[in-house]
Chains A and B, each alone.
Chain A
């Protein structure tokens, strides 16, 4: 069953608004990068979908930003508490052939699913580059990135750390230097839209992880749809990862 109660094994809070929870891994299936869990927080009426940021046989790490009453409540839970979750849910980033040049592009808390993705891709011998941007220094969790496992470019909109540029501008520069075989991205909608249009312009395969207000998380309520060339598709079940080419960016 996807419905579980799992214990919080540890909690870390970064820069007052980012939370990392380590949970017991009691899933029936092995989570794939891009998948999420749907958590009953008690702070808001609906569950909250949170990306899986790391996974081992016994532990699952989630990373989220405190945005409203649901995530606030979740951030207040202490180690040892059991939480009610559904998961793992949704699809995942596609697997890629060895030696392909993969660019991962993360905006803000979009880093969460890409940490997991990067981990998996490195293990399977891919040539990775992570472009990670945020608005400002205290919204960038660069200290969570592993040392030396893959290339990284850090940027902030205000230049308070890393290059002073938007992460999509960084990607554009990189495309001029060396065109990637494939791009995986997660972040705010506006960033993903710009990235999606850029990748279409340069004819680069790209997969984007979308966020949406989500009720069931299981594909039954059809509340979280996004418009695609195949009609309305559910972010929770057909996604959250979509082939950029099918999204009708609005």
Chain B
């Protein structure tokens, strides 16, 4: 496979391929070197980092469904400072584009992290995990267009690195959030994060809340990317439930300029290579280039 043919650019962000790991399913980025072939992924995408080291939620943290799972990890991570000390150098040696996901307990934490990390060389983009509480509105940032605008606008003033807004699907109208992110200066949208879910554990007699991912969410995330593409001009990384080369192509047809795979790539570490192969084969068969198939089955309305 001519993997170099799959190099793309989303605005200023160069990617080795259009296939990205989803944040949270790829650790800090270096852990899977002896499990999968990194040449097939477009970039390293770290798990969400917070300003301070975060212990995460008490177990249990994973619940299985027939066609997906629910997690409640609670953003366990070593914090941005330890990340710089312990991980950054290793990641830079991998010679891949690097996307660092940033989250926090409040918007100020996210901004502090971005300011701190912008002093480090080698980070190509920040993915802002907008599923972060905002005390002022009593909602998560991702639920409210104004909070989204304010946070991204402030982040935009702090850094000239590429900013990716990771959108939550748990909203009435995702397009309002996407438009606010674009207007505030986001370079790329990443849609979507996990869906809110609830699980009843009969053995423990307890209810658990978490984020649902895996093939079962594909029809909904697919629809959200389809809607977003009509309303925004910036590129979209489409993800949520992609578990096959066909679903990856479908997401691209809906308007995704790159695709993310999380849950299913954990289960099938060779999925990125299969998706890359399918994209190469499809482009060859249709005699098209990658950019020309993005949104090919969707109509832009703006």
Interface of A toward B, CB cutoff 8 Å: 1-3, 28, 40, 44-47, 84, 86, 212-216, 218-227, 231-232
Contact = CB atoms under 8 A, between A and B. Distances in A.
Contact of A223 (B31, B62, B68, B269): B62
The secondary structure that dominates the A interface is: loop
The secondary structure that dominates the B interface is: loop
A218 B59 contact: no
B34 A213 contact: no
Interface centre among B31, B35, B65 (most CB of A within 10 A): B35
B26 interface: yes
Given A3-B270, A222-B56, A232-B56, A45 B25 contact: no
Contacts of A227: 58-59
B245 to A, nearest CB: 17
Interface in B160-193: none
B268 interface: yes
A189 B47 CA distance: 30
Contacts of A47: 267
Contacts of A215: 62, 69, 71, 266
A225 B267 contact: no
Interface in B258-279: 266-270
A235 B266 CA distance: 17
Contact of A224 (B24, B55, B62, B69): B62
User: Which 3 interchain pairs have the tightest Cβ spacing?
Assistant: A220-B27, A223-B62, A216-B266
B46 to A, nearest CB: 11
Interface residues of B, number: 34
Contacts of A3: 35-36, 269-270
A2 B24 contact: no
B121 interface: no
Given A225-B56, A225-B61, A225-B76, A2 B267 contact: no
Nearest to B214: A45
B55 A218 contact: no
A227 B56 CA distance: 11
Given A45-B65, A45-B67, A221 B266 contact: yes
A1 B268 contact: no
Given A215-B62, A218-B35, A231 B55 contact: yes
Given A218-B35, A219-B27, A220-B26, A213 B55 contact: no
24 contacts: A1-B34, A1-B35, A3-B269, A3-B270, A45-B66, A45-B67, A45-B267, A46-B64, A46-B69, A84-B268, A219-B27, A219-B31, A220-B25, A220-B27, A220-B31, A221-B266, A222-B56, A222-B76, A223-B73, A225-B56, A225-B61, A226-B59, A231-B55, A232-B55
A246 to B, nearest CB: 15
Contacts of B68: 45
B60 interface: yes
B32 A218 contact: yes
Contacts of A225: 56, 59, 61, 76
